[in-house]
Amino acid sequence: MKRSKRERVAELREEFNGARRRGKWKDARKALLLLRRLEPDEPRWPHQLGEVERRLGDVEAAAQAFEAAVDRYVAEGFVARAVAMAKTLLLLDPSREDVLARVDPSAARARHRAARPGAISAPGRASVVHAAPPLEPDADADDDEVRFVDLDEGAVIELDLSELELIEEAPAPPAIDRLAMMPSFPLFSELPADRLRRLAEGADLVELGDGTQVIVAGEPADALYCIVSGAVRVRVPGIDRRKRLDEGDVFGESCLLDAGTRQADVFVEGDLVALRVARPVLDAVVEGLPELDDVLFELLARRVLGNFMWTSPLFAPFSPADRRELAKRFEIRRARRGVSLLVEGKRSDGLYALVQGRVDVDGVARGPGTILGVRSLLSRGAAEVTATTSAECVLLRLPAAKLNAFVAHFPPALAHLSQLAETEGAHAGDTLS
């Protein structure tokens, strides 16, 4: 009985994987050549063929395979993979710098804008960092509360998280449409071609084995890592839960902060291929292009909010899909220096997550990632600290009214928050780091 193409591909994949596990590289090459003939548009086969040819010592054949993989990954919109393939080719043949010019972000950009038409990095939209609506005190606020003027729905700038950012165990490497939802994707897809080449030239290709510690909590933050393949496990000191990050995700985003320090330990799980982008390279890539500031702002904001929703018991009853919908209720707002977000003895009107700038909490300086208003939100009681912006800030605000309206549709969540208020509300701090 004649086998279908699908069955033949599955058979050859099994042959390739078996030969690779046994170190039979010539057999692996034979299977890959047949796979490439059956699926000429599939970029994985020239990619894997390049790795096999490199092990067999045929540098020219490896270079040709990696070059083909660059072109196929570009056509499919996998820009980070294409950059990694180009960097691998340059390790074999440093004279082939021309290959970087072939990493065109057009296909990836189209994928990103189709997947996220409301993204804050969309073309033609004013820079969020400069255009975020300011917090203005509400003249009708009671004497015992801190309240800011709410925005009309049309003026609200929301943050759209991916469900993949809100789960502890990500699925297998995502398809391109899901990958387009990940935080690193616009860092490559929304760059002009010349800036993408500068990013590719300045990035380092990192290949690490299982168990390697990539980042140590407390060390200076000097680079951002974009996962091309493989995975890492993130462990935040003091928190029992660990988060797995896979292809398309980033880690080390604290390098986007001035004088930032690492907030977590990061270990390789399996094998990792990543692009390491040093802070000076990022600065050079976005210099003179204010709209690219939004790409980095969004990356940092999505991680700040995603981490909070991942670790806080406030959001435990919600599924990743529900958390994503709740995340959209957070507004991107700007606050001048000297704005009091919390005042001791007064109720707060919502929850605040600091993304840029600094706040003074009873004389202690706090930076990005600080969460304000937790106690007031839980217990609806007065704040026990005063938190005032000590520089111009950009933050995420979840009005209490929006949270209450959302939770009203989830009776189990409503019961959970009521119990949390009774058991922890009186003891919860006003701020979280």
Q: In this model, does residue 427 exceed pLDDT 50?
A: no
Reported as a single tens digit per residue, the pLDDT across 140-164 is 888 989 999 888 877 777 777 766 5
Q: In this model, does residue 172 exceed pLDDT 80?
A: no
Residues 6+ apart with CB under 8 A from 217: 236, 237, 262, 263, 264, 265
Least confident range of 60-69, 354-363, 424-433: 424-433
Return the CATH superfamily for domain 5-104. Tetratricopeptide repeat domain (1.25.40.10)
Say whether 364 sits in a helix, a strand or coil: strand
In the structure, what pLDDT confidence band is assigned to residue 1 with cuts at 50, 70 and 90? low
Residues paired with residue 204 on neighbouring β-strands, in sequence order: 276
Terminal CA-to-CA distance of the chain, rounded, Å? Answer: 64
Residues paired with residue 272 on neighbouring β-strands, in sequence order: 208, 230
Place of tokens 């995420």: 396
What is the reported pLDDT for 34?
94
pTM, entire model: 0.81
Q: Across all residues in the chain, what is the average pLDDT? A: 85
Reported as a single tens digit per residue, the pLDDT across 60-119 is 999 999 999 999 999 999 999 999 999 999 999 999 989 999 999 999 999 988 888 767
Say whether 177 sits in a helix, a strand or coil: helix
In the structure, what pLDDT confidence band is assigned to residue 174 with cuts at 50, 70 and 90? low
User: Residues 273-293: what's their mean pLDDT?
Assistant: 87
Reported as a single tens digit per residue, the pLDDT across 317-344 is 788 888 888 888 888 899 999 999 999 9
Q: Do domains 5-104 and 122-166+290-433 have the same CATH topology?
A: no
Reported as a single tens digit per residue, the pLDDT across 232-248 is 998 877 766 678 888 88
Give the domain ranges of the chain: 5-104, 122-166+290-433, 193-288
Return the CATH superfamily for domain 193-288. Jelly Rolls (2.60.120.10)
What is the reported pLDDT for 425?
45
What is the reported pLDDT for 274?
94
CB 291 within 8 A of CB 116: no
What fold, for 122-166+290-433? Jelly Rolls (2.60.120)
What is the reported pLDDT for 170?
55
Q: In this model, does residue 431 exceed pLDDT 50?
A: yes
